[in-house]
Every structure is written in C-alpha cells, then in structure tokens.
C-alpha cells in the first residue's frame, strides 16, 4: 500500500512541479519588461514606412523630458512633453501599448499636435526609459497617470482641458484610470482596443496562443503576480473601473481583432453609464484602425471632441 501510494505520488509531484514551472515561465514572458520593442505583427508590416516617418517627426520635434520620482532609480518615470507652438490649454496624455514606449505612439502624437493639442507621452512601468521590472498591464500605471495629470495642470494652469487617450494596453490603462477621482480638468477619454480585464485577456491568450486551459495556469500566474506586483489578476478590471466613470468616452475597436477580441469593446461600452460612443472599424485587426483609415480615424476623433471636449 505504501509503495503504490509512493509510486502514484511521483508522477503527480512531477506534474505539479511542471505546471508551476510553466506558469512561472509564462508570467515572465507576459509580465517581465523587455529591453527592445518587439517586431510588429505581419499584417502591420505594410505600414512600416508610414510608421518610421512618424518616428522621424517625433525625434525631430522640440520637446521636453518630464519625470516622476526623479533620481530614484527604482521608481523614476519618464515622459516626453511636446508643447504646441500655438498657445493652448488643450493637452492630450497618450498611453502606449504592451511592450511599446512613447515613441511608438508618434503617429497619434502628430495627429493631436496637428489638431492643436499639447502632447504628453509617458513611458509606463517596465517600458522604455521608465523604471520597473514588471509590466502591470495598466493597473499600477493608472496611479502614475494621476501624477502626470497633475504635472500637466501645473504646466498649463487650472484652465487646462485634458484628454486621455490610449491604444491596446494603453486603452485599458485610460479605462482603468477612468474610475479614479479625476480632476475637473480631465474632460474626455478615448480608448482604442482596450481589454475588459487583465484576467480575461490572459485566459483568452492562453487558449488562442498556447492552447492551454484557464485552470490551473491562470490562478498560478495570478498568485505569482500577487507576490511580485501586489494584486491578483481577478481583482482588477477595466469594466469595474468604467462603471465608476463619469467622463465622456469613445471606444474604438477593429472588427477583426484576434488579440483583444471585439467582444471586449462591447463589454467596456456597456460597463459605463457616462456619455459614450462606440466605433467598430470594419476589417481592422488589433491596433490597426488608425493605420487602415488615418483620415477617417481623425474625423471620428474630431467628431467626438466637438461633441464632448471643445
């Protein structure tokens, strides 16, 4: 009896150890910072020349470097601030995507700059020039954005009119930020292809990319995240924050998004009772809506701003 129990315990222990190892590996793949921006997806390679034209513009335009917690290597956050040559109180704060940085949002920076906005582009935790060993998928970043908002008000003045804008993880970041107590200067929000929750996004990608079940992987990854970053994945969501939102918000999502499914756009849209608009961009994949229809994208953004911001 003892022998059979022992022999049964050996493979079970091996399976458990293997599952823990796999979960830790997946956590590091998904949550650990990277030193370089990964290659874009194959379908977006067609926009490479346009993308680098925007990057060239971003690198050449006069700008300032702003900091949070300057001098503390473990907490220092970095952002680029581009003041519009035409004096204005209108300022957009742009939140970048997963494993990107402020430079990867150059196209949106130029769009809003040309529309007459001052532009602030932070590097989030674990990205670009900002500190952080791990990526928080917007949840801890939302706290930094409260400080960035305060810096904008200090720079521009109490008459500042602030727009929050983000794409992908950045979209989820401004959605999560929407549930916080925001200064009156924050007038509106635009969220492009943000996920409804970190947990739902992880479970979706576990299935689609790795063909792995939710259990026991997600609870183990969530526990690792609790140890490293201080919260379980199921404790936070865009939809719960959006339920507390009072600012007008425009949701944008590609109809063919297979990275953050378009169903999440509808979840996010239903979650908020604030004034809202939803634009599902036909045939666009993840974070492709601007690239596929740049003029239409700006027109739709401008229509929203004319309704709720200007």
Q: Mark whether 132 and 219 lie in a shared domain.
A: no
| Structural domain harbouring 23 | 1-32+214-232
Q: Let me know if residue 203 belongs to a domain.
A: no
CATH of the domain at 58: 3.40.50.1820
Residue in 107, 128, 141 with CA at minimum distance from that of residue 288: 107
**Within this chain, do residues 185 and 71 fall inside the same structural domain, yes or no?**
yes
Q: Could you read off the pLDDT of 295-306 as tens digits, one per residue?
A: 999 999 999 999
Same domain for 107 and 250, yes or no, is yes
76 SS3 class: coil
pLDDT above 60 for 4: no
Q: How far apart are CA 161 and CA 185, in angstroms?
A: 5
Task: Select the more confidently predicted residue: 242 or 10.
Answer: 242
Q: How confident is the model at residue 1 (pLDDT cuts 50, 70, 90)?
A: very low
Task: Note whether 220 and 137 are same-domain residues.
Answer: no
Predicted TM-score (pTM) of this structure: 0.95
Each residue's pLDDT tens digit, 55-108: 999 999 999 999 999 999 999 999 999 999 999 999 999 999 999 999 999 999
Same domain, 44 and 14: no
Q: What is the pLDDT of residue 9?
A: 53
- Quick check: is 202 in a domain? no
Whether 14 is in a domain gets the answer yes
List all residues 6 or more positions away from 281 whose beta carbon is below 8 Å from its beta carbon: 252, 253, 254, 255, 288, 289, 292, 293
Tell me, yes or no, whether 206 lies in a domain. Answer: no
Q: What is the pLDDT of residue 43?
A: 81
Does residue 127 sit in the same domain as residue 18?
no
The pLDDT, as a whole number, for residue 6 is: 44
Cis geometry, peptide bond prior to residue 216 (ω within 30 degrees of 0): yes
Greatest alpha-carbon span in the chain = 84
**CB-CB neighbours of 203 under 10 Å:** 19
- Confirm if 265 and 253 have CB atoms less than 8 A apart: yes
Q: Residues of 219-255 as b/e, b for ≥16 C-beta within 10 angstroms?
A: ebbbebbeeebeeebeebbbbebbeebebbbbbbbbe
Query: Could you give the CA distance from residue 240 to residue 245 in angstroms, rounded to a whole number?
Result: 9
Residues 141 and 257 in one domain: yes
Burial class (CB in 10 A: 0-12, 13-18, 19+), 112: buried
Together in a domain, 10 and 136:
no
Helix or strand run (H / E) with residue 121: strand 118-122
Packing angle between helix 106-114 and helix 48-60, nearest 10 degrees?
A: 60
Report the distance separating Cα 168 and Cα 150, nearest Å: 24
User: Same structural domain for residues 118 and 265?
Assistant: yes
Judgement on whether residues 5 and 87 belong to the same structural domain of the protein: no
Does some domain include residue 275?
yes
* 205 found inside a domain: no
The pLDDT, as a whole number, for residue 41 is 82
Quote the CA–CA distance of 4 and 216 in Å, as a whole number.
26
Same domain for 221 and 104, yes or no, is no
pLDDT tens per residue across span 59-74: 999 999 999 999 999 9
**Whether 91 and 51 share a structural domain:** yes
Q: Would residue 204 count as lying in a domain? A: no
> Per mean pLDDT, which range of 8-12, 146-150, 189-193 is the poorest?
8-12
């Amino acid at each position: 009896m003892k022998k059979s129990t022992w022999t049964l315990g050996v493979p079970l222990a091996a399976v458990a150890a293997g599952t823990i190892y796999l979960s830790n590996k997946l956590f590091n793949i998904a949550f650990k910072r990277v030193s370089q921006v990964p290659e874009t997806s194959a379908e977006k390679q067609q926009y490479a020349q346009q993308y680098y034209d925007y990057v060239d513009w971003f690198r050449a335009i006069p700008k300032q470097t702003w900091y949070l917690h300057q001098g503390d290597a473990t907490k220092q956050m970095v952002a680029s601030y581009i003041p519009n040559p035409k004096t204005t109180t209108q300022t957009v704060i742009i939140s970048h995507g997963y494993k990107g940085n402020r430079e990867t949002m150059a196209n949106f920076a130029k769009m809003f700059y040309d529309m007459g906005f001052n532009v602030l582009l932070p590097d989030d935790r674990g990205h670009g020039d900002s500190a952080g060993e791990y990526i928080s998928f917007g949840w801890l970043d939302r706290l930094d954005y409260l400080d960035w908002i305060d810096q904008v008000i200090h720079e521009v003045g109490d008459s500042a009119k602030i727009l929050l804008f983000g794409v992908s993880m950045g979209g989820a970041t401004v959605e999560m930020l929407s549930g916080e107590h925001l200064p009156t200067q924050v007038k509106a929000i635009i969220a492009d292809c943000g996920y409804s929750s970190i947990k739902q996004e992880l479970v979706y990608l576990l299935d689609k990319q790795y063909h792995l079940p939710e259990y026991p992987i997600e609870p183990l990854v969530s526990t690792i995240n609790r140890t490293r970053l201080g919260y379980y994945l199921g404790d936070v969501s865009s939809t719960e924050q959006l339920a507390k939102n009072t600012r007008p918000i425009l949701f944008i999502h590609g109809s063919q998004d297979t990275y953050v499914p378009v169903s999440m756009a509808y979840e996010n849209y239903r979650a908020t009772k604030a004034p809202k608009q939803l634009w599902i961009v036909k045939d666009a994949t993840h974070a492709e809506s601007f690239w596929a229809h740049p003029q239409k994208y700006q027109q739709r953004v401008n229509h929203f701003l004319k309704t709720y911001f200007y």
